[in-house]
Chain A
Amino acid sequence: MCGVFMGEETVLRPVRGMKIVALVASAGLAFAAAACAKPTEETPGTGTSAAAKYSACMVTDTGGIDDHSFNASSWAGLQAAKAANPAIDPSYTASTAATDYDPNLANSVTKGCKYIQAVGGLMGTATKTAATANPKVQFSIVDADNLGLTNVYPIQFQTQQAAYLAGYLAAGYSKSGKVGTYGGMKIPPVTIFMDGFADGVAAYNTAKGKNVQVLGWDKAKQDGLFTEDFGSQDKGKQKSDTLAAQGADVIFPVAGGAGLGSAANAGTKFVVIWVDADGFETTKYGSVMLTTVVKNSTDGVKEAVTKAAAAPDTMLTGGFMGTLANNGVSLAPYHDFDSKIDPALKAEVETLKQDIISGKIKVESPAQPK
């Protein structure tokens, strides 16, 4: 067999070309002949003997595996679970269109995955179909509820809690008395950040008797500034330029990769509060990152798959609800800005965090998971 690939490389010669065709054909025959014996009961599909392995598969949404957002962090969660328990065997399948969700989930079942991680609420319908058809396979989904099924484990986040802290911090840090935000699209997973942010600024105003303005989002009207695009850095730059021109010196882009356009052009005009994963570490613009509202999908996924692997024959119950209390959502370290933020402000943010954890302060958003 070994010579065959060499043949492919020197395919310029027609005679070799014919040989390869013949070899491919004979390989096909051998492949067909191999399919006559009775298969073993255990692994369906093309499974290699993975008796001790716990196969954990992830299907990305159309953002792809390296979206710097929940696909990437969910995948990091599977990797982290593998580091903790080497029996876990993670793999992923990327989707290129919404209509790929069904086959990708179905193929993952065929492959013999015991745990299948769906990412994003938009995969809800497809996940429901696959989970209904395969009640013995553990499914899990980020940013959606359990879809009414017992074999679906939901991973959700009270993101508004951490965004509240960011809003308070931004209001305290701002020298111009104006802070800005914009979103990628007016959908709840985005506006939940903006709601919490606006509430945090309002809390600062109440506490200090100030009037720091939020540009780009009106929580009462649920309306604001959006790029309508999660990828275009140009559009992100336009929005932050607009906000900066109106006087904002802290800007909170909730627009995935489009937000990079703001970070790249911040200069000395404004500082940026990043979202999802710590922007100081995941982007190259650490020097302008005041902090990040972290949505810790990594820990949520890691916890879910670790628990599932520990008891492979039973379905997980309940779900993961990320809050400030369990570090499922958090405010990232200040990194470069640690020395530039007033220690009193830092202490106040820490107090607020404890108050939210204890339930003394309730942060609400119409977009929060129930």
Chain B
Amino acid sequence: MTSHEPLEAEPGTTAASPDKSPALPAPDVDQYHVNPSLPPVDLEKHHDQAERQPKHRAPEGGKRSFARTFREELWADNNFTVTLLAIFLALVCGAVLMVIGNAEVRDQWQYLLYQPGKTLGDTWAFVSTAYTDMFKGAVVNPDTVNRWYWDMTTWQQVFYPISETLTNAAPLIFTGLAVAVPFRAGLFNIGGQGQAIMGAIGGGTVGLALSLPAVVQLPLGVLAGALIGGLWGYLVGILKARTGAHEVILTIMLNNIAFLFLGWYILQAGIKDPVRSDAISKPIQESGRLPHLIPDPLLRANFAILLAVAVAAGVAWLLKRGRFGFELRAVGHNPHAAATAGIKVGTTVALTMALAGALAGLGGTSVALGTAPALTVDMLGQIGFNGILVALLGRVRPWGVVGAGLLFGALQAGGNAMQTFSGVSVELVGVIQALIVLFVAAPALVKAIYRLRRSPAAAAQAGLAKG
């Protein structure tokens, strides 16, 4: 691992990073981050360097008021506005697909010229009902609140949608971090799915095989998940560091291996449930399960979400203040420079992938010990791959990943409700998620569509990044 040669063919990896787009601050200048809502003197000083800003020249020597900054940023190409507008744009595209996908509404469009009012009214009714149902399934259902007010349902029903959102968000935050962290080191981890599967196997095996007191068994299960997932990631890191094999190829292949291994594993004696006729493992012991936040069978949200936020905080600290985080970012920025500065590039790469694997492994474990009753081949769905979207939407920053994970969790929970209530296919949610990321990854597109102004704060940051 002392050799850094294999990394020479590597610098292209970071070129695909969304951080390189001019409007976004590069990740490696975190420490110079300027809060756009404050008008510090520094910002003014660099303002003129940013050029092309005739409209927003700062008043002579004075500070700009908060209100003015807010007004200028509201419709400018800063991250927040672009993300919000990307989400809106994706929802609009989703609405068009929804209409195309619904036979009744689509047929009505044949009569657009004869019955324009009815056609557009029907369309609006259908689309708004579907999105309202999505909201009802993800955040709060006013009908339920109303029924609860009149004592016609339990308070648990009121919190059910938000509980579902948190339940879906937790594994996505973990797998999102598992993509975001290596991204900062210039590595593209497509292996979240495989690492999550291995984590689920590790955590699930502890959960179903042992019957210890919960205070021992639960932490043991979570650690086992992180460990096995971490080893699966480390395997990629070590192969890359030692042999120069590309991590994208490695992780894709290991995803398949992990998936087929899970299929084989749950059928083995001692793991398979002997009383069930299907391919399913023995149930996870009660003592190994993550407890619900609120002890109620309906509200599935469990401690995984708290763990996810805590881990995100840890990762944020590590990247910003930790020695390893600094090395990681240095390698991501320029491996050669990092090597010259005395950083062991190979070791950093291997450990970064191990950390990523552990994070994804935690995601898998949180499902195995949280919401899944036992290990099955379809227990994880696509959390590993959705993690890539979450990481990109979160701008590969830990807190961004938490936000994006919550949004995607809400879309998932709302999508489940939407398809049951409105009959809109749940696949649409996947399309909306992908579109959001697509628009976020192409800020120039969003900017052109909405004719956004150039953000003074973002421009100042771009100036800082160059200087």
**What residues of chain A have their CB less than 8 Å away from a CB belonging to chain B?**
1-6, 8-9, 11-12, 14, 17, 21, 27, 31-32, 34-39, 41, 44-46, 57, 61-62, 91, 93-94, 96-100, 102-104, 106-108, 110-111, 120-122, 124-126, 129, 133, 143, 185-189, 228, 367, 369
Cα–Cα distance between A188 and B95 once the two chains are bound (Å): 43
Once the chains bind, are A14 and B450 in contact (CB under 8 Å)? yes
Query: Shortest distance in angstroms between B302's beta carbon and chain A's nearest beta carbon?
Result: 12
Contacts of B417 in A (CB 8 A): 103, 107
Q: A122 and B378 in contact (CB under 8 A), knowing A46-B143, A98-B372?
A: yes
Cα–Cα distance between A296 and B269 once the two chains are bound (Å): 32
Contacts of B380 in A (CB 8 A): 97, 99
Nearest-neighbor residue (CB-CB) of A104 within chain B: B416
The 0/1 profile, CB within 8 Å of A marked 1, for residues 147-162 of chain B is 1001011000100100
Contacts of B150 in A (CB 8 A): 38-39
Of the listed stretches B115-123, B222-230, B337-345, B398-406, chain A binds: B115-123
A-B contact pairs, 28 of them (CB 8 A): A1-B125, A2-B120, A2-B121, A4-B120, A5-B124, A8-B96, A17-B450, A21-B88, A31-B142, A32-B142, A37-B146, A39-B146, A39-B152, A44-B147, A44-B153, A45-B421, A46-B143, A46-B421, A57-B420, A91-B420, A97-B378, A107-B137, A107-B420, A122-B280, A124-B276, A188-B277, A228-B260, A228-B263
Cα–Cα distance between A283 and B85 once the two chains are bound (Å): 45
Nearest-neighbor residue (CB-CB) of B371 within chain A: A99
Q: A96 and B92 in contact (CB under 8 A), knowing A14-B450, A188-B278?
A: no
Checking A14, A17, A98, A103 against B376 with a beta-carbon cut-off of 8 angstroms, the contacting residue is A98
Contacts of A121 in B (CB 8 A): 276-278, 280
Nearest-neighbor residue (CB-CB) of B376 within chain A: A98
Query: Shortest distance in angstroms between A53's beta carbon and chain B's nearest beta carbon?
Result: 14
Contacts of B128 in A (CB 8 A): 27
Query: Shortest distance in angstroms between A4's beta carbon and chain B's nearest beta carbon?
Result: 6
Cα–Cα distance between A228 and B416 once the two chains are bound (Å): 29
Query: Shortest distance in angstroms between A228's beta carbon and chain B's nearest beta carbon?
Result: 6
Residue B462 lies at the interface, judged by CB distance under 8 Å to chain A = no
The 0/1 profile, CB within 8 Å of A marked 1, for residues 185-225 of chain B is 00000000000000000000000000000000000000000
Contacts of B426 in A (CB 8 A): 93-94, 96
Once the chains bind, are B378 and A62 in contact (CB under 8 Å)? yes
Residue B434 lies at the interface, judged by CB distance under 8 Å to chain A = no
Contacts of A41 in B (CB 8 A): 152
Nearest-neighbor residue (CB-CB) of A97 within chain B: B381
**B117, B264, B279, B376, most chain A CB atoms within 10 A:** B279
Query: Shortest distance in angstroms between B192's beta carbon and chain A's nearest beta carbon?
Result: 15
Cα–Cα distance between A36 and B129 once the two chains are bound (Å): 18
Residue B132 lies at the interface, judged by CB distance under 8 Å to chain A = yes
Residue B19 lies at the interface, judged by CB distance under 8 Å to chain A = no
A-B CB contacts (within 8 Å), total count: 158
Residue B73 lies at the interface, judged by CB distance under 8 Å to chain A = no
Once the chains bind, are A14 and B381 in contact (CB under 8 Å)? no
Nearest-neighbor residue (CB-CB) of A123 within chain B: B278
Checking A3, A45, A187 against B120 with a beta-carbon cut-off of 8 angstroms, the contacting residue is A3
Checking B263, B297, B371, B372 against A185 with a beta-carbon cut-off of 8 angstroms, the contacting residue is B263
Chain B contact residue count (CB 8 A cutoff):
72
Checking B298, B374, B419 against A125 with a beta-carbon cut-off of 8 angstroms, the contacting residue is B374
Residue B367 lies at the interface, judged by CB distance under 8 Å to chain A = yes
List 10 additional contacts besides A5-B120, A187-B279; criterion CB under 8 Å: A27-B128, A44-B147, A46-B421, A96-B382, A96-B426, A97-B383, A98-B381, A107-B420, A186-B267, A189-B277
**A11, A62, A98, most chain B CB atoms within 10 A:** A98
Query: Shortest distance in angstroms between A126's beta carbon and chain B's nearest beta carbon?
Result: 7
Nearest-neighbor residue (CB-CB) of A8 within chain B: B92
Q: A2 and B376 in contact (CB under 8 A), knowing A96-B381, A189-B278?
A: no
Contacts of A98 in B (CB 8 A): 372, 376, 378-379, 381
Contacts of B279 in A (CB 8 A): 122, 185, 187
Q: Which of B408-431 contact A (CB under 8 A)?
A: 413, 416-417, 419-421, 423, 425-427
Q: Which of B346-364 contact A (CB under 8 A)?
A: none
Cα–Cα distance between A44 and B398 once the two chains are bound (Å): 40
**A2, A94, A120, most chain B CB atoms within 10 A:** A2
Nearest-neighbor residue (CB-CB) of A37 within chain B: B146
Nearest-neighbor residue (CB-CB) of B263 within chain A: A228
Cα–Cα distance between A94 and B378 once the two chains are bound (Å): 13
Query: Shortest distance in angstroms between A161's beta carbon and chain B's nearest beta carbon?
Result: 17
Cα–Cα distance between A187 and B132 once the two chains are bound (Å): 41
Checking A6, A39, A107 against B416 with a beta-carbon cut-off of 8 angstroms, the contacting residue is A107
Checking A2, A34, A120 against B116 with a beta-carbon cut-off of 8 angstroms, the contacting residue is A2
Query: Shortest distance in angstroms between A195's beta carbon and chain B's nearest beta carbon?
Result: 13
Once the chains bind, are A31 and B132 in contact (CB under 8 Å)? yes
Cα–Cα distance between A27 and B128 once the two chains are bound (Å): 9
Query: Shortest distance in angstroms between B373's beta carbon and chain A's nearest beta carbon?
Result: 4
Contacts of B92 in A (CB 8 A): 8, 11
Contacts of A2 in B (CB 8 A): 116-117, 120-121, 124
Q: A91 and B379 in contact (CB under 8 A), knowing A4-B124, A45-B143?
A: no
Once the chains bind, are B416 and A12 in contact (CB under 8 Å)? no
Nearest-neighbor residue (CB-CB) of B378 within chain A: A62
Cα–Cα distance between A110 and B153 once the two chains are bound (Å): 11
Residue B444 lies at the interface, judged by CB distance under 8 Å to chain A = no
